[in-house]
Amino acid sequence: MIKAILTDIEGTITRISFVKEILFPYAAKHLAGFVKNSQDEPQVRAQLDAVRAEIAQPDASLDTVIDTLLGWIEADKKITPLKQLQGLVWQDGYQQKDFTGHIYPDAHAYLTAQHQAGTALYVYSSGSVKAQQLLFAHSDFGDIRGLFSDYFDTRVGAKQQPESYHNIVQNLPFEAHEVLFLSDVVAELDAAKAAGLQTLQLWRDDQPKSPNHAFITSFEHL
């Protein structure tokens, strides 16, 4: 029996193009200015130091750090300090109403119905928890953060590693087999299944499919 749902965001409950065409370009355009203006704030300084540690250059200049971050954005790297800083930049964008967080209507309807039915809902995304909460706070359907019990990002581990899902389950009041993981990415589904979770692929944009996982093209099919 499924008692909880753990959902990916990009490509699963929001369109991939929202991140690729709206969020990433916005961060790339505004990140340098944001970092220069906010470098002395503790939460920003901590992430800049984390970048220096990641590239093994503890004395790297601010310009080097910024160039590194922009290179990571270009290469779509899933590196925690980048994700944390992107979340801070996006916060400004949401608050200034430069964009709203896209959510598929069928996903919103399904998650709302599951929440009302008492199913616990959780989020696991490569985007930072802060970025996740910003998207849901400023979604096309208003503030929907109340649907979710908790959020997880790459601080629990990479999404294609079974250990990451073990780490998440340890933080839930459920057994692994009681949790359904939703994603559009086969490698993520494989990792979750290896950790004992149930899986379901959202096949929206002609991604590769796998016979190891059930799939749907819309939540309306459930």
The CATH number linked to 62 is 1.10.720
Element (H, E) at 54: helix 42-54
Binning pLDDT at 50, 70 and 90, where does residue 135 land?
Answer: very high
Q: What is the pLDDT of residues 88-104, one digit of tens each?
A: 999 989 999 999 999 99
pLDDT of residue 187 exceeding 90? yes
Mean pLDDT of the chain: 94
Q: Are residues 90 and 28 in the same domain?
A: yes
Q: Are residues 12 and 25 in the same domain?
A: no
Report the alpha-carbon distance of residue 88 to residue 119 in Å, rounded: 30
Summary count for the chain: helices (H), strands (E): 9, 6
- Among 70, 96, 122, the domain-final residue is 96
Q: Nearest-5° angle of CA 3, CA 198, CA 196?
A: 105
Q: 72 lies in a domain?
A: yes
pLDDT of residue 65 exceeding 80? yes
- Among 74, 96, 118, the domain-final residue is 96
Q: Are residues 45 and 87 in the same domain?
A: yes
156-186 core/surface letters (b: 16 or more CB in 10 A; e: else): bbebbbbebbbebbeebeeebebbbbbbbbb
* Contact call for residues 99 and 37 (beta carbons, < 8 A): no
pLDDT of residue 80 exceeding 90? no
CATH number at residue 116: 3.40.50.1000
Q: Are residues 145 and 67 in the same domain?
A: no
Q: What is the largest CA-CA distance in the chain?
A: 54
Q: Which of 135, 128, 122 is nearest to 168 (CA)?
A: 122
Q: Are residues 201 and 106 in the same domain?
A: yes
Q: How far is CA 117 from the centre of its chain?
A: 24
Say which range, 27-31, 114-118, 125-129, 183-187, has the weakest mean pLDDT: 125-129
Q: 117 lies in a domain?
A: yes
Q: Residue 23 has which token pair?
A: 């969020």
Domain span including residue 76: 19-96
Kindly report the length of the chain. 222
* Contact call for residues 34 and 107 (beta carbons, < 8 A): no
Q: Are residues 113 and 191 in the same domain?
A: yes
Counted domains in the chain: 2
Element (H, E) at 151: strand 150-152
Tell me, yes or no, if the pTM score tops 0.75.
yes
- Among 46, 76, 96, the domain-final residue is 96
Strand partners, 180: 5, 198
Binning pLDDT at 50, 70 and 90, where does residue 222 land?
Answer: confident
Q: 222 lies in a domain?
A: no
Q: Are residues 121 and 151 in the same domain?
A: yes
Q: Are residues 80 and 140 in the same domain?
A: no
Q: Are residues 91 and 186 in the same domain?
A: no
Q: Residue 22 has which token pair?
A: 């709206």
